[in-house]
Structure 1
Amino acid sequence: MASLLRRTSARLLTTSQRWLSTSTTDAPLLLSPKQVHELSKSEPVALLDVSWFMPNSTRDAKVEFINKRLPGAQFLDLDQVASTHELGLKHMMPEPRVFAEACGRFGIQPSSQVVIYDSHGVFSSPRALFMFRAFGHQKSSILNGGLPRWIDEGLPLEGTQPQTPRVTNYAEPILDEHMIRSYEQMVSNSSLDPTKDSSAELVLDARSKERYTGTAAEPRPGLSSGHIPNSFSLPFNTFLQKQISNSDGSEYTTFLPQDALRRVLEGSVGHEQAQLIINGKKPIVTTCGSGMTAGVLWLGLRLLGVKNIALYDESWTGYAMRPSSQIVKN
């Protein structure tokens, strides 16, 4: 199967563009709409719409999916394919059984090529990709630019009730626990200065700078803003670039090119720390408001070749909800 993927990928390469892939056996991390369209002609592709909106949004991801989606796509609800949490937090990493059952319902097998997208362009799709990769499903990618870019490039759509795929038996996978951080681990690490202590993990916070400094309120009522001690601010949208649709003038997002991603990282942590990160000498943990856009930072770093990255699953909501948590505001 790995050799088949390499042959398929080779057909899609040009002299001016190469896959941004972590190895020769992994699927590309990013795919363009045209690449997805061509790939689907040569092998079965499982397309998953993982659109998710903030709790205060009036948009309904499931309704939008029914009305407009990629042909053959299924809807993966990240709040449903999740584990229960003592604090009632949403979209936490699912148990292996829950992940396997969801894949089976979508007709996905461990050998399936999975392409994930959302309706923002890039927002919730990296979090879903993180989930697949954490469970060892390396043949998984995101559609860079998501549904809006697909539409912008004039590719076909569906707008009727989706067909139910044939259920498969997806073997229960093993979660790579090195990719997840707990509250206790974050508290322990927060006492260390990552610029001075080689054993400390460098924590990158994907929320806005204002929420990080405590000068703006959190979107979740009653939750304090601020940040974890010794963490760095790197708003997720600084890893992205806005695109304007030629069809209706609307905006959507795609990832910045590699050199621009590096400059953004250096602007957050400094040149020296960025070098250590890219060279694999400084482990990283990404966090955000609820564990969603931390996936954008995770994927952006992966595009820079960084592999030693974990994600704080509870993120700021879980951290700030606990009265014992130390919160910094500046």
Structure 2
Amino acid sequence: MEALVSPQWLADNQAIRDIVILDATLKKTMNTANVTTGEVIPGSVFFDLENTFSNPDSPLPHTFPVLSSMSSLLASIGLTPESVVVVYDQQGVYSAPRVWWMLKVMGIQNVYLLDGGLPAWKEAGFEVSGNYTFLGAKIAGHFCGQPKQIVDKTSVSQNIETSHFVLVDARPAARFNGLQAEPRSGLRCGHIPGSVNIPFTEVLTGGKYNSPELLEYLFAQKGIVNPRKLVFSCGSGVTACIVLLAAYHAGFTDLRIYDGSWAEWGACNETNAVITAE
């Protein structure tokens, strides 16, 4: 199923279909340089990734909520398993892919990402609103959560020896290579042994995804071709989803997230946990 939709597609279909539009902007990352504040796509519901939809009991940032609670959390913002959902963020493409992935994990089939986000919507000349919409809570439906799409540290550790999957790190090259300090205090520098670096900025041009052909070529340059099983990581599991969605757009199908990402691995003191300045 195609994952990306254009502003024109959303405008045309919003008038004839019951579409839930989610603003997935990660609020704490917002700044006046690259985020439009106070403007949203009309009819948008706010998806609070920073608070409501991150596990409050986890010491790690942006951890996927407990699956048993996700049905009621999604229902609280008006979603059902049958919902048709379009996700966007105010930066273009940043946190929205994380929410796209989360909804896919929960078994929502008809979920799309607005390529280019709010900037693309405005550039296309469509109107904006100053307020979010509240749809009202739904009765929690039977969401078919798929926990196998969430990979833990034990599986990543075992993969160093088994190479059962390709681990793709979406952080900038300088951080991956241990040449730049991590933005979160207390984390070591470097990368997980055996991982491949595809910075999330390399899959985008002008705040939108590159074509499937260019993305397939990018992955091939890194030695990754179908039908390899791919697991993605980053700093906290957000930008990893940008590259995961790029892989989906390029035709890869077996895609998962190491949810602890570097926030977990970089804090670990196990021997051979990190390669630095390679």
- The aligned counterpart of 2:149 is 179
Residue matched to 2:95: 124
Deviations 1:209-241 (A, max 9, x none): 110010011111221120001111111110110
Report if the CA contact (8 A) 2:44-2:133 is conserved: no
Letter in 2 for 1:230: G
Give the corresponding residue for 1:307: 253
- 2-side partners of 1:233 and 1:141: how far apart? 26
**Is the Cα–Cα contact under 8 Å of residues 173 and 199 in structure 2 kept in the other structure?**
yes
Q: Equivalent residue for 1:47? A: 21
- Provide the C-alpha distance between the structure 1 equivalents of 2:39 and 2:122, rounded to a whole number of angstroms: 10
Residue 215 (structure 2) aligned to one of 261, 264, 269: 261
TM-aligned CA deviation for residue 125 of structure 1: 0.8
Q: Aligned ranges for residues 1-330 of structure 1 at < 5 Å?
A: 21=1, 28-52=2-26, 58=31, 64=37, 67-80=38-51, 81-86=53-58, 88-160=59-131, 162-192=132-162, 194=163, 200-242=164-206, 253-267=207-221, 269-270=222-223, 274-275=224-225, 278=226, 280=227, 282-324=228-270, 326-329=273-276, 330=278
Note the residue ranges of structure 2 that are not aligned, 5 or more in a row: none
d(CA) in 2 for partners of 1:54 and 1:296?
Answer: 18
CA offset at residue 284 of structure 1? Answer: 0.9
Q: Distance in 2 between matches of 1:234 and 1:110?
A: 32
Alignment deviations for residues 53-92 of structure 1 (CA, whole Å, 9 cap, x no partner): 566x656x9993xx21011101111122122354x11221
Name the amino acid aligned to 2:161: S
1:84 & 1:318 partners in 2: Cα distance?
Answer: 16
Instruction: Give the match's secondary structure for 2:158.
Output: helix
- The one-letter code of the counterpart of 1:151 is K
SS of alignment partner, residue 15 of structure 2 = helix
Is the CA contact 2:75–2:140 (under 8 Å) kept in the aligned structure 1?
yes
Offset at residue 191 of structure 1 (A): 2.5
Q: Is the 8 A contact 2:61 2:263 kept in 1?
A: no
Given that residues 90 and 290 in structure 1 are in contact (C-alpha distance below 8 angstroms), is that contact kept between their aligned partners in structure 2?
Answer: yes
Q: What secondary structure is seen at the aligned counterpart in 2 of 1:100?
A: helix
Identity value in percent = 26
Give 3-state SS (helix, strand or coil) of 2:87's partner: strand
Output the amino acid matched with 1:257.
Answer: S
**8 Å CA contact retained: 2:89, 2:96:** yes
CA distance in 2, matches of 1:202, 1:54: 31
- One-letter code aligned to 1:238: E
What's the offset of the Cα at 1:158?
Answer: 0.6
Residue type at the aligned position of 1:171: G
How many angstroms apart in 2 are the aligned matches of 1:306 and 1:47? 26
Tell whether the 8 Å contact from 2:236 to 2:262 is kept in structure 1 after alignment.
yes
Q: Aligned AA for 2:69? A: V
Post-superposition, which runs of at least 4 consecutive aligned residues in structure 1 deviate over 3 A?
none
Amino acid at match of 1:327: V
TM-score (norm 2): 0.92
- Residue type of the partner of 1:263? Y
**Aligned partner letter, 1:139:** N
Decide which structure has the larger Cα Rg and report it: 1
**Counterpart contact for 1:286–1:310, Cα < 8 Å:** yes
Structure-2 separation of matches of 1:105 and 1:177: 21
Do the aligned residues in 2 keep the contact of 1:123 with 1:296 (CA within 8 Å)?
Answer: yes
Q: Deviations over 1:4-38 (max 9, x none)?
A: xxxxxxxxxxxxxxxxx2xxxxxx31000000111
Change (3 A) 1:220 1:163: same
Offset from partner CA, 1:159-211 (integer Å, 9 cap, x none): 14x3422221122423212211101111111234x4xxxxx211100001110
CA contact (8 A) 2:171 2:197 kept: yes
SS in 2 for 1:191: helix
The residue type equivalent to 1:328 in the other structure is I
